[in-house]
Copies of this chain bind each other. A is one copy, B any other.
């Protein structure tokens, strides 16, 4: 299964979205976010670093620094997040190259390639239908203070 980085990334962007709705200026620090996710600030910086390279967030060092969304929440789809955090293909081929002496071994990978792409694409297309704004809306249907 897919690692938890994707889940954490969506969590973090949702946190930024909710925080911005309350105060568009105030940044969120790695430490604050880490408490919400129950992890280490370095893990947060690593994942938000991927988001930054994908243009989804921006960061500022120094005091009063921290993280901001860099796009409207309704313009960040879950597919964008997935692509930013996951560079591997969804399905793994054989670890060892199959036997070239067997017609099945020789051709199976090429045969599967297309089917795997279709399935992966269908999954991503479904993720593309939902945005961080949707997640934030669902999360904030129940009220509560924003605390770490």
Pairwise interchain contact B91-A2, C-beta atoms closer than 8 A: yes
**A5, closest chain B residue (CB):** B92
Scoring A residues 39 to 82 as 1 if CB is less than 8 Å from chain B, else 0, what string do you get? 10000000000000000000000000000000000000010000
Contacts of A148 in B (CB 8 A): 99, 101-102
Q: Among B88, B106, B124, B140, which residue has its beta carbon within 8 angstroms of that of A144?
A: B106
8 Å CB interface, A1-19 against B: 1-4, 6-8, 10-11, 14-15, 18
Say which residue of B14, B107, B125, B138 sits within 8 Å of A122 (CB atoms).
Answer: B125
CB-CB under 8 A for A2 and B90, given A111-B135, A111-B139, A130-B115: yes
A-B contact pairs, 27 of them (CB 8 A): A1-B2, A1-B86, A1-B92, A2-B91, A4-B92, A7-B93, A7-B94, A11-B98, A18-B103, A35-B102, A36-B105, A37-B96, A37-B99, A38-B98, A39-B95, A99-B147, A99-B148, A102-B146, A104-B139, A104-B146, A106-B142, A106-B144, A111-B135, A118-B126, A120-B123, A122-B126, A123-B126
